[in-house]
Amino acid sequence: MSHTAHIRSHRKPRRSASTLAVRAGVAGGVLSTLAVAGASGSANAAEPVTQTLELPTLTADLAAQAAQSADATEQAAANYQLQAERDAAAAKAAKKAEADLAEAKKKAAEAKKKAEEEARKEAAARASRTAARTTLSTTSADTGTTTLGGGTGTEAGTSTDTGSSTATGSAAAVVSFVRAQVGKAYVSGATGPSAYDCSGLVQTAFKQIGVSLPRVSQDQSTAGTQVSLSNLQPGDILYWGGAGSAYHVGVYVGDGMFVGAQNPSTGVVERPLSYDPPTGAVRVL
């Protein structure tokens, strides 16, 4: 026996060739089985994958096309609605423009008519003033001692004013009232107490003494007895224009003076008859 026989060899024991062959065969069989199974699994999986992927792809395309078609239809409907709204707005604007044009033409016609009326009145006023001046400058056999300013004339028949310059009774109350309104504003249609138009002042003045007069100048110019401008008395109503068609009135207050609500610029004023000679006069008291 060798002296190293009791020491175990550090080398691995050798396996027999048969054992290795068996193990190799087993391993090879297992690997072959796995390879076949893998190949079979791959083959089996390939067919359903192809079929499963085709259908969703086609379905998604159809859905996208349907969505695009729906969007296009909705957009077209919105465009039609927008165009309809624009057409309606344009028609409405055209209708309003036509109405505005008609209104503008109407106002222009009214303004032209008013201007023509004002021009006619102004022409009539100028004519009446000229006639009044002629009347005031003519001789009168009835009064020969007073002048326009209330003075005394030396020639018989040369009077241009009235016989009496002193107000008495109800006439004095009318004169006092209108003089108290001097300085107040002229407002068309106003009858006091802070503003008047011409006929409003006359009507209110006579109302203070219980005399009811018509409201407008035309009617006031025929409300009493017609008197000559050369024979005026305080309290007489003066008018400008024709009797029954007068466009302005005032009150004679004596001494060749009158009080009237003239216009928006002057308001209620006291002026001499020469400032704006009247056409005629009526006596109510």
We report the CATH number of the domain holding residue 274 as: 3.90.1720.10
Please give the Cα distance from 91 to 76 (Å, whole number): 22
Q: What angle do CA 35, 38, 44 make, to 5 degrees?
A: 140
Q: How many domains, in total, are found in the chain? A: 2
pLDDT score at 6: 53
Is 25 domain-assigned?
A: no
* Residue 192 and residue 257 in one domain: yes
* Residue 204 and residue 262 in one domain: yes
H/E stretch holding 68: helix 17-137
* Residue 168 and residue 225 in one domain: yes
Residues 6+ positions from 281 with CB-CB distance below 8 Å: 226, 227, 228, 229, 232, 236, 237, 238, 239, 252
Burial 202-219 (b: 16+ CB within 10 A, else e): bbbbbeebeeebeebbbe
The DSSP 8-state label assigned to residue 238 in this structure reads E
* Residue 122 and residue 171 in one domain: no
Please give the Cα distance from 269 to 259 (Å, whole number): 6
Residue 65 corresponds to which tokens in the numbers above? 């096309």
Is 36 domain-assigned?
A: no
Residues 6+ positions from 263 with CB-CB distance below 8 Å: 186
Is 24 domain-assigned?
A: no
250 beta partners: 238
* Residue 168 and residue 279 in one domain: yes
**Which residues of the chain fall below pLDDT 70?**
1-60, 121-165
Residues 6+ positions from 167 with CB-CB distance below 8 Å: 174, 175, 176, 233, 234, 235, 253, 254
* Residue 180 and residue 76 in one domain: no
Is 87 domain-assigned?
A: yes
Is 31 domain-assigned?
A: no
* Residue 275 and residue 175 in one domain: yes
21: amino acid identity, one letter: A
195 beta partners: 185
* Residue 188 and residue 226 in one domain: yes
* Residue 130 and residue 196 in one domain: no
Domain that residue 217 falls in: 161-283
